[in-house]
């Protein structure tokens, strides 16, 4: 066993570490939420990781995104997250930004794209609602396990984040909107991370939400933990 995972094996055993090394997880969106989910999946030893994000690092990302520092501005986020991480290079699968649909164009016609990922689990950490709905509907129809992040903007209390079925959420405007749309599409269940904190009103002009260095990362870590626990449960480990 790779010595990187010695401490991990102390809680899930070498069997668990070996099992995770055979699994594939796809992360849609490598921003404030997704970059931390990706980091956690790397460090726990998921064997094959697919990072999907066409965006490049911007100065506005510096306050909260793991991929963002002064040296990475202008670089593709999915490419940044694969550099300088523990583990062998062969575990990385970076989707070429030109080889997948733009997140604003990802719709139900893209079933083959998601099918071809051969993912054991999908993490949705993007903020485009039509694309989130498309991913959820495709995963539901294809029976691919998924967890989706709801709104983390304009919030200050990470301890109020929860994991639940979207039908049991409250407070979160994005979850309410998604819930209605998914019901119309006959998607019965979707596991989400959402906040029960009432969002704060942004200060100043413009429509961009406020965001912090400590709420989105917790959402990402929670999603990664949920995925790992469910993969291990599938194998009867933990």
Beta-carbon contacts of 62 under 8 Å, excluding residues fewer than 6 positions away, are 68, 69, 70
Tens digit of each residue's pLDDT (9 = 90 or more) over 77-124:
878 877 755 554 345 556 655 555 554 455 545 788 888 889 999 999
- Give the residue from 89, 124, 120, 116 showing the smallest Cα distance to 100: 116
Cβ-contact 11, 19 below 8 angstroms: no
* Residue 15 reports pLDDT greater than 90: yes
pLDDT score at 113: 85
Measured distance CA(231)–CA(49) in Å, rounded: 14
pLDDT score at 90: 45
Angle (CA) 233-38-171 rounded to 5° is 80
Q: Any idea which fold 3-234 has?
A: Rossmann fold (3.40.50)
Q: In what order do the strands lie in the sheet with 48-52?
A: 92-94, 48-52, 24-28, 121-124, 146-149, 191-195, 161-165
Average pLDDT over residues 214-237: 96
* Residue 144 reports pLDDT greater than 50: yes
- Give the residue from 134, 150, 126, 145 showing the smallest Cα distance to 222: 150
Q: Around Cβ 206, how many Cβ atoms within 10 Å?
A: 6
Measured distance CA(186)–CA(182) in Å, rounded: 6
């Amino acid at each position: 066993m790779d010595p990187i995972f010695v401490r991990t094996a102390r809680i899930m055993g070498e069997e668990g570490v070996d099992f995770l090394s055979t699994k594939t997880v796809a992360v849609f969106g490598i921003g404030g939420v997704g970059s931390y989910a990706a980091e956690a999946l790397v460090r726990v030893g998921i064997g094959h990781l697919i990072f999907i994000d066409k965006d490049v690092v911007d100065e506005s990302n510096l306050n909260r995104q793991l991929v963002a520092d002064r040296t990475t501005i202008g670089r593709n986020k999915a490419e940044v997250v694969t550099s300088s991480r523990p583990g062998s290079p062969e575990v990385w699968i970076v989707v070429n930004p030109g080889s997948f649909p733009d997140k604003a164009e990802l719709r139900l016609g893209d079933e083959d794209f998601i099918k071809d990922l051969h993912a054991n689990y999908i993490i949705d950490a993007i903020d485009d609602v039509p694309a989130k709905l498309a991913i959820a509907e495709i995963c539901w129809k294809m029976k691919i396990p998924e967890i989706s992040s709801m709104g983390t903007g304009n919030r200050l209390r990470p301890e109020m984040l929860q994991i639940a079925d979207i039908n049991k959420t409250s407070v979160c405007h994005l979850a309410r909107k998604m819930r209605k749309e998914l019901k119309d599409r006959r998607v019965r269940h979707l596991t989400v991370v959402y906040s029960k904190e009432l969002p704060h009103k942004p200060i100043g002009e413009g429509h961009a939400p406020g965001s912090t260095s400590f709420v989105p990362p917790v959402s990402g870590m929670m999603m990664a933990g949920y995925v790992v626990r469910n993969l291990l449960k599938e194998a009867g480990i933990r």
